[in-house]
Amino acid sequence: MKATVVTIAAGRRPHLARQCEALERFAPESEHVVVDMGSQLADWRIGDPRRPTVIPMPSASSPLPLAAARNLGARSALEAGAEALVFLDVDCVPSVDCLGWYGEALNRRPDALLTGAVGYLPPGASSITATDSDSLDDLARFHDFRPQPALGQTVEAGHHLFWSLSFAATASTWEQIGGFDESYLGYGAEDTDFGERARVAGVPLLFVGGATAFHQHHDVESPPVRHLDDILRNGAVFAERWGYWPMRGWLEAFENDGLVSRDPDTGAYRRAVAA
């Protein structure tokens, strides 16, 4: 099955370079489409025959159109003949056999939405070559609440566990789900919505043993205050559609910090009014 890797990016050239290094070594036969949301990749590795196909995102601005960018990458890949899609966050590098195990599972379960374990690397790990998976596996931190099946095995899980960092689907499954909802702009909820869309479409979510990716370290804000307005806007869109608010951990942290308030009658969150 011909699979194309799709990555969306707004800068992060060093992270993208390590991702490309790993793909070139471990999956040289796979096509790689990069959607450029920040107009920073126009000269990406010009003259290198191994360079990914870079697609500029028309009118990309802040807040970044993450959902629309993933849809654009998928559409471009499918129009070029891809039979399956593997999405990797720009910060993620695949393990040696990540695409191989995804491919095996796609052939066995073409009806499913697939995802693999993602291990978070500590500061300084970026100095380790992205192709040294054994070293990365030893350093990575994995979430305990996410399944990690044995190599080649699959485990079905609730759709609330879907994350967009690393996942795969056949062309037909992607079309069945309908892609990402482009009403979400900026940070948060578009991938939780995608999981709900898969559930409603009757598409099971399977974790694939061995389809591991490693998330390269970068500074993060917790809770992500700079994305507060995106989270409130996208959370409201999601709540209107699905009847509950996502990202509750962040919203409760914002509430504890006095940044948002919750309506006791409707449960809706909004920016707190300054005293």
Residue 216, SS3 per DSSP:
coil
pLDDT category at 55 given cuts 50, 70, 90 is: very high
Mean pLDDT of 4-16: 91
| Model pLDDT, residue 124 | 72
pLDDT for 58 beyond 80: no
| Contact residues for 29 (Cβ-Cβ < 8 A; gap 6+) | none
Q: Which two tokens stand for residue 132?
A: 């040294």
Query: E-assigned strands of the chain?
Result: 3-9, 31-36, 53-56, 84-88, 92-94, 113-115, 118-120, 154-157, 166-170, 205-208, 213-215, 260-262, 269-271
Return the domain boundaries, the chain. 3-215, 225-271
pLDDT category at 251 given cuts 50, 70, 90 is: very high
Peptide bond into 123 cis (omega under 30): no
Give the range with max mean pLDDT: 28-32, 108-112, 138-142.
108-112
Max distance between CA atoms of the chain, in angstroms, equals: 60
pTM: 0.93
Q: What does CATH list as the number for 3-215?
A: 3.90.550.10
E strand or H helix at 71, and its extent? helix 66-79
Give me the percent of the chain exceeding a pLDDT of 90.
Answer: 68
Report angle CA 99, 212, 68 to the nearest 5 degrees. 70
pLDDT for 128 beyond 60: no
